Amino acid sequence: MKTLLRFEDVALRRGGRLLFEGMSFHLGSGERLQVTGPNGSGKSSLIRLAAGLLRPERGSVDRSPLALADDGLALDREQPLGRALQFWNASPELAMDALGLAHLALVPVRVLSSGQLKRAALARVAASRAPLWLLDEPLNALDVGGAKRLGLLVERHLESGGAVLSASHQRLGGEWRELELKP
């Protein structure tokens, strides 16, 4: 099994506060890990650290090519959804279809609902073809249908050798290893 993400004895400090130390884990192809914990425990910071957007105080983080879905949409709000997603992949149709967005391909991103925007961000991740997906609160704003579609998409990604690290207060479908952060 190929390792796609590795944390070795990682410590992270934010705003003068030590969020965690001695954090070690790895995520291999076909594996998924859900980070849980109360607000302020460092879930989103751990995702940002895994993405390379933060640097550890100590330890090391090694990662494969990745795609991140967090609060940042990373799509041109003035473009039609299909064209905005083409920036990330010349053929985003499969990802749009998997998330129930195909009928919105010509709709400007700026007029999409919150749930549609969340699906669009997840379609961007799926269309990226990155082996490692980092999902920060992926179920926020999704309805039951959207959550099911995301679950199926994650399963397909894992079956194709990808890995997923998710931070969420909500239980995601399937069997996840869990990493609980304490405040």
Confidence of residue 169 (pLDDT cuts 50, 70, 90): confident
Residue 13 and residue 53 in one domain: yes
Residue 133 and residue 58 in one domain: no
Residue 57 and residue 79 in one domain: no
Question: What is the structure's pLDDT at 172?
Answer: 84
Residue 117 and residue 149 in one domain: yes
What's the pLDDT tens digit per position in 59-79? 999 999 999 999 999 999 999
What's the pLDDT tens digit per position in 120-162? 999 999 999 999 999 999 999 999 999 999 999 999 999 999 9
Residue 86 and residue 155 in one domain: yes
Burial code (b: 16+ CB inside 10 Å, e: under 16) for 160-183 equals: eebbbbbbbeeebeeebeebebee
Where in the sequence is the domain holding 98, given as residue range(s)? Answer: 69-164
Q: What is the largest CA-CA distance in the chain?
A: 48
* Domain annotation covers residue 169: no
* Domain annotation covers residue 170: no
Domain CATH number, residue 52: 3.40.50.300
Residue 45: both structure tokens together: 């910071």
Residue 58 and residue 112 in one domain: no
Question: What is the structure's pLDDT at 129?
Answer: 92
Residue 61 and residue 142 in one domain: no
Q: How many domains does the chain have?
A: 2
CA distance 64 to 92: 21
